[in-house]
Structure 1
Amino acid sequence: MDRNVGMGGIIGILLAAGRGRRFDPLGRRNKLLQPFEGEAVVVHSARHLLAALPRVVAVVRDGEDAVAAQLASLGCEVVVCADADSGMAASLVHGLRHAQAAQGWVVALGDMPRVRPATIAALARAVEGGADIAVPVLATERNGESGPERGNPVAFGRRHLPQLLALTGDRGARGIVRDNIVNEVAVDDPGILLDIDTPPDLQ
C-alpha cells in the first residue's frame, strides 16, 4: 500500500513505529495494542485522526502485522518503515515521503489516544489558513503558576517540507518547531499532553 498520496488537502501522519521500551523494557507487550476504553490504544489515535482528516498515513515498524492490520481495517494507508529503530525522524520522513504532495500534514503519535478530533481539525484549519506550523496549547496550572502549555499533534505547511525530510535521529521535528514562527491554537483538550508511556497511563 505504498502508493503516493495525491495533491491537495491536509494529510494525517500517524507515527506508530516505536518500540515503547519504557512501557515494557522486555518488549513482550506492544503498548499500541493494549486495551484502552474498549479498543487498542493505536485504534483510538487513528480513529480521531480519521474523524478530522480525509486521509491518514500510518507508519508502522516491520514485523508489527497486528498493528498494521488494525490500522488498515480502519482505512489508514499503512506504510512500513524498515529503519524505524534509527529514531522517530525516520518514521516521520517515511510518512512524509509517502504523502509529500499534500498541502500540509498533522503529525500525530500512536500513543496519544485522548487527543480530540476537534483539536486535529483546528490544527488543519490553521495550516489551510496559511500557518506554516500550528501547535495546540492548553491553559494549565502547575506549582501555583498558570499559562499555556504546548502539546501534540503538530501541523506543518509545505514551507518546512525540505527541513522535515532532512530530519535524522530521535528528536523528530521539535527543533523545527523551536526555531521557527509557530501558530499556537488554543484548545480545551487535556489529551494533547497525555501519552501512554507506562502501564499506569492506561488508567
Structure 2
Amino acid sequence: MIKRRPAVVVLAAGRGMRFRGAGHKLEQKLAPGADTMLSRTLRHAIESRMRVVVVTTPAFAPAVGKLVAARDVLELPELDDRGRPNPVGMGHSIAAGVAASGDADGWLIVPADMPLLTSASMRAVADALEQFPVAYAQYRGRQGHPVGFSAELYSELVALRGDEGARRLIARYPAQAVELDDPGVLVDVDTAEDLARLQASMAASQPPLPEPLLLQKR
C-alpha cells in the first residue's frame, strides 16, 4: 500500500512591502552565484518528496516553472479588474493553493521567504498529521513553519480570505507542536536587513540565529 502524503503549498504571491532593496525579496541571491531565496525554498520543498504547489504571480511563474510542474504553478493576478495592485493576503493564497490540490492528504504551508527551512522538517510535520488535525514545527519552544493541516480541514482552508492566515484554525483544533533541531523553521526574510544578516551568516558558514529574523506571520 502506497502511503499518501500531504502537499506542500509554497506561498510566493506576496508583494514583500517591508523589503526596501533592489527588486523583490524573493529574487535576491543568498550568495554570489547561489540560489535565489525563492529557488532555495522550492528546492528544499521538492527534496521532501511530497507534491509541491506554488501560489505565485506572473512575474515569478517562469522561474517557478523551471523547478515545479506546470500543473502545480498557480498564478494569482497582480492587478485587479481596474488595473490597481491586487492585495493578495496570506489567507487568500492558502485557500487558492489548497483548492488547487484538493486531492492531497493534507497540506503543509510554507512561506517562500524561508530558504533555510529543511525538507526533513517538512517531513516531520507531515508525519505528525497522521495523528493530529493540525501540526507545526517548533524550535526551542517557539512556533514556526511549516504549519500542517489534515485533509478534514479542507472546507475551512479554502474559505480563508485576506490576511487572516490560519491562526484561527490552529486555535480551534488540537494542534501538535513538533520540536525540531532546525532554527530554519523560525527564519524568514522580511527586510533588507534580514537578508544582509542571513547572507553574512551563510558566508561565515555558521548557523543563523533566529532572533533577528524571528518569524512573525502565520
Q: TM-score with structure 1 length normalisation? A: 0.84
- CA distance, structure 2, for counterparts of residue 125 and residue 134 of structure 1: 9
Partner of 2:105: 103
Partner of 2:144: 151
Q: Which structure shows the higher strand fraction?
A: 1
- CA distance, structure 1, for counterparts of residue 132 and residue 143 of structure 2: 16
Which residue, out of 45, 48, 54, partners 2:50? 54
Which residue, out of 12, 16, 24, partners 2:8? 12
Which runs of structure 2 are paired with 1:1-150 in the superposition (5 Å)? Answer: 8-24=4-20, 29-37=23-31, 38-61=34-57, 63-64=58-59, 67-76=60-69, 77-82=72-77, 85-127=87-129, 129-139=130-140, 148-150=141-143
List per-residue Cα deviations over 1:165-194 (Å, max 9, x = no partner).
Answer: 111110211111122210111101111111
- CA distance, structure 1, for counterparts of residue 88 and residue 115 of structure 2: 24
List per-residue Cα deviations over 1:49-99 (Å, max 9, x = no partner).
Answer: 1101331000012x31xx212221112521112376241111111111110
- Code of the residue aligned with 2:133 in structure 1: it is D
- Code of the residue aligned with 1:74 in structure 2: it is L
Structure 1, unaligned runs of 5 or more: 1-7, 140-147
- Code of the residue aligned with 1:116 in structure 2: it is T
Structural RMSD (CA): 1.6
- CA distance, structure 2, for counterparts of residue 54 and residue 120 of structure 1: 9
**Contact 1:81-1:90 within 8 A present in 2 as well:** no
Percent identity over the alignment is 32
Which residue, out of 178, 182, 187, partners 1:185? 178
**Contact 1:126-1:134 within 8 A present in 2 as well:** yes
- CA distance, structure 1, for counterparts of residue 115 and residue 88 of structure 2: 24
SS of residue in 1 equivalent to 2:162: coil
**Contact 1:11-1:53 within 8 A present in 2 as well:** no
The number of residues matched between the two structures is 182
Partner of 1:144: none
Structure 1 consecutive aligned stretches of length 4 or more whose deviation exceeds 2 Å: none
SS of residue in 2 equivalent to 1:93: helix
Partner of 1:3: none
Structure 2, unaligned runs of 5 or more: 81-85, 199-218
Q: Please tell me whether residue 195 in structure 1 is matched to residue 181 in structure 2.
A: no
